[in-house]
Chain A
Amino acid sequence: MNPETEKYSKVVNILKKSKPVLNSTTDIEREVIKRISGSYRTDRGISGAIEFFFGWVYIGWVRRTLITASVLLVLVFIYQQNIILKQIKYLSSQATVATEDKLINTSDRIEKKMMLYKLGGRSLSSEEVTISSGQLEQLLESVNELQVQYKDLLKLIGEDPELKKLVEKKMEENSHKKTKL
């Protein structure tokens, strides 16, 4: 054993032998018990209150009844949700059809009124016109046909300069204005 180890062992042995002495075990004991019993009482107080308010849930038949009731409530809830979803689906499809109809009707009616306004001139109010839808369609078809024929006529006149001059002359005579095709 070298001197260094010897010295080390000596010191360690002395320290080992000299166990620290706790003189005030009772003080520590009293303090610990005091702190514990304080918190223990609080714990007991809280748990007592919880037991008083919710302790009844541990009674067997109450528990079983509550479980059954909750299962029933969940089933009713699911059933109601299904019905509500179906209703929502049905109503949303209805709403779409109604809207589309309305739009079609509305746009069609506006178009027809505008056409009548154009044909009748500014003096004719669209609200005053009473005409059946069949007559209206017939009228519009005639206007379209007339427009096509007018275009063809203009084309024919355009191709023949002599005819063009003749027509212009006739129109000038009728309207007393210079007209150019």
Chain B
Amino acid sequence: MIEKQIIDECRGGNLNKFRILVEQTSPIAFSVAFRMLCDEDQAKDVVQETMISIWQKLNKIRSAERYKSWMYRIVINKCYDQLRRRKKNPEYKADDKTWELISDRISEQPSSDLENEETAVIISQLTNRLSPKQKAVFVLTELEELSVDEVSEITGMSKTAIKSNLWYARRRISEMVEKYL
């Protein structure tokens, strides 16, 4: 939980406190951005932009408790922008060899966590055919383990829309898993 005092002092223009806020919250923002974009550099750019937006709009936040969901919302919107820009460039499609590597890595029952690069490849392949909204719902609900209410607040979608998007995303990913892994 982000301390209310830190947010209040940041609102007053205290840059040192904002430095602490960035330190505490940028890993959370990076996690979502990375899982959404599957690209480390782009995710870092999104985190930077998010932090700057937070500084500029910190007075708009109603309560410190809402800070996290507010930050998630900014990250998701910035990711949408990135994905929209990316549409112009055709997505890289993994060949069978890449799928084999992914399959091997998963079936190994990894004792250690996956590297960023490996995570990026897996998520990118599994969510390749999902729309940005479906991807956002999948990342926030399944990977970030947020509740439907929280996801609804972040994305602005209704609970029904979230459930249907999640159902569709699960089905698509299950098909991919079944087919390639």
Contacts and interface: CB of A to CB of B under 8 A. Distances in A.
B145 interface: yes
Nearest to B108: A14
A17 to B, nearest CB: 6
Contacts of A40: 13, 15
B47 interface: yes
B23 A25 contact: yes
A15 interface: yes
Contacts of B27: 22, 25
Interface string B28-41: 00110011000010
Nearest to B114: A18
Contact of B26 (A11, A14, A18, A29): A29
A141 to B, nearest CB: 96
Q: How large is the interface on B (under 10, 10 to 19, 20 to 34, 35 or more residues)?
A: 35 or more
Contact of A10 (B34, B40, B106, B142): B106
Contacts of A33: 15, 18-19, 22
Contacts of A11: 106, 122, 126, 173, 177, 181
B174 interface: yes
B52 interface: yes
Interface in A1-55: 4-5, 7-8, 10-12, 14-22, 24-25, 28-29, 31-33, 35-37, 40
Given A8-B173, A29-B23, A20 B15 contact: no
Contact of B142 (A16, A22, A36): A16
A20 B177 contact: no
B18 A7 contact: no
Dominant SS among interface residues on chain A:
helix
With a 10 A CB-CB cut-off, give which of A19, A20, A22 has the most chain B CB atoms: A20
A15 B44 contact: no
Given A12-B143, A22-B26, A36 B55 contact: yes
Nearest to B24: A25
Interface in B112-136: 113-114, 116, 118-119, 122-123, 126
B106 A28 contact: no
Contact of A16 (B55, B145, B173, B177): B145
Given A22-B47, A29-B26, A32-B22, 9 more contacts: A4-B177, A7-B174, A12-B143, A15-B119, A17-B113, A18-B113, A20-B40, A29-B22, A35-B52
Q: List 4 A-B pairs, minimum CB-CB distance, nearest first.
A: A18-B114, A20-B34, A18-B113, A22-B30
